[in-house]
Structure formats: C-alpha cells, structure tokens
Amino acid sequence: MANRKFYLYLTLVTISTGFLIAASIESTKARNTERQNEKQFQQETQLNERILAEKKENHQLEVQLLELQRKVSQVEEALAQRQSEAAEILSELEAARMMAGVVPVSGPGVIVTMQDSEQAAASADVTKYIVHEQDVRLMVNELRAAGAEAISINGQRLVSNSEIRCVGPTIIVNGVKSAAPFVITAIGDPATMVGGLHLPGGVMNMLQDYVKIDIQEKEHVEIPAYVGDGKMDSSAS
C-alpha cells in the first residue's frame, strides 16, 4: 500500500518536473525571439506612427487647399461680376479646371464595383476569375466612350496622364496603391453609361461571367480632385 502511494507521488512529481523543464525551455526561447523581434517591432510602430501623423497632416492640408480654392474662386467670381471679359474667361477656366481634374466635381453618374469572382478559389484556373488591369481599363474605356466626363478609381481622379496598373491584388492609379474591390466612379449620363456597359458584346457581356461587377446609377456622385500636378507642370514649355 505504501508502495502504491509512493508510485503515485513519484508520478506526480516527475510530471511536474517535466512540465517545469519544458516550460522554462520554451520561455527562454520565446524571450530570445522576443528580443530579436523587439527591434523590428519598434521600427514598425515608429513607421506606423509616422504614417498616421502624415495622414492626419495631409488631411489638414487637403482642407486647407479646399479653403484656398474657394477663396480663389470667390475672388474670381467677384471679378467676373464686375467685368464681362473676366466672366467669359472664368467660365472657360472653370471648364478647363474640371477637365484637367484639379477641382473636385459632382454630378449624376454611376458607381461600378469590380471584384474577384467567388468562384476564383474553387476554380482550377484562378486567373480567369480575378480582376486584371486590362479589365479595369476596359471598363474605364467603355465609360469614357459612353460619355463619362470625370472618372475616379478608388478615389483617384483619372487625369490626362493617369496610369492603371495592377500589382498582385492591388491597383495603382496615379502612383497611389489601393486594394480590391475596385470602385470606379464616373460622372455623366447614368442611363447612357449603363446602357453602354450592357451593350451586346460589350463589357458586361465579356466580363460578368468571370468577375463580380456591380453597377449602380446615382443621382449624385462626387469625384475628388487630382492632387499634385508636379508631373505636368514640369513640362511647362
């Protein structure tokens, strides 16, 4: 009987010894990797903080820019009211600015959302069911052909020298990267644009079996301005 008890104790003690050994090994190992990661982690937090601060500042700058644009247009309008020549130039100027994409615009339009098809994961040929850059270009092209006056992709205004590129699951427009879904906003006649997309042999015909496309007609959409026209200005000749 005493022997039995002894075995029981022995078992308990050895189990806990084993536990302790393993736990201590694990924790020293973890501490080592932690120390290694700590530097990286610090760097990451630092970067994250800088990004956040930068974003905040950029937002303030955006507000400031809008304010300034409004002030300028007030001056311009005041001038236009006093002088007929100025009025003519102003209407031309406003049109040119809208076409150049340097001012935010609003109006009726459509919002097209393109997404990888849910079948993509299940299909053997994955590439068939994901959105490619040529699909986005095709969509944009078709919207343009249907008379879109201003277009943005994920909040990036398309200007006369914008590019549309895909790298992996992200899209790059005007050098700015954003992730799927790709939301294309266009201002123009909604009925014409939707009709254009649905033409037999048109974009929807070509793409809707492969990727998920959602088209919404809207009474009012807003498209932001293109920020930073340094690229164009440097070509001043």
Partner 1 sequence: MITKNRKITFILSLISAIIGIMFAIQLKSNMNPVPNESRSIAELRSSLQKELEKHKGLLADISKYNLLFYQYESSLNEGDSVSVMKEELARAKRMAGMVGLEGEGTVVRIQDAVIPEPPPLSDLEEHSYIPNAVIDEDLRWLSNILFANGAKAISINGHRIIATTAIRNVGEDIQIDTKTIRPPYEIKALGDPDVLISGLKLEGAEENLKLAGKQLIIEKHDKLLIPAYTDARVIRFMKPVKTKGES
- Contact region with partner 1 (CB under 8 A), list: 36-44, 113-121, 123-131, 204-212: 36-44
Minimum Å distance from CB 85 to partner 1?
A: 6
Q: Phi and psi (nearest 5°) for 210?
A: -105, -40
Q: Are 221 and 111 in contact (CB under 8 A)?
A: yes
Preceding amide of 190 cis, omega within 30? no
Residues 43 to 62 in contact with partner 1, rule: CB under 8 A = 43-44, 47-48, 50-51, 54-55, 57-59, 61-62
21 near partner 1, judged by CB under 8 A: yes
Minimum Å gap between C-beta 122 and partner 1 is 27
Q: Which is nearer to partner 1, 208 or 229 (CB)?
A: 229
Positions 165 through 194 that interact with partner 1 (CB under 8 A): 165, 172, 175-177, 187-189
Place of tokens 């994955």: 126
The reply to whether 18 sits near partner 1 by the rule CB under 8 A is yes
216 binds partner 1 (CB under 8 A): no
Sequence-separated (6 or more) residues with CB below 8 Å from residue 148:
109, 186, 187, 188, 193
Contact 109, 193 (CB under 8 A): yes
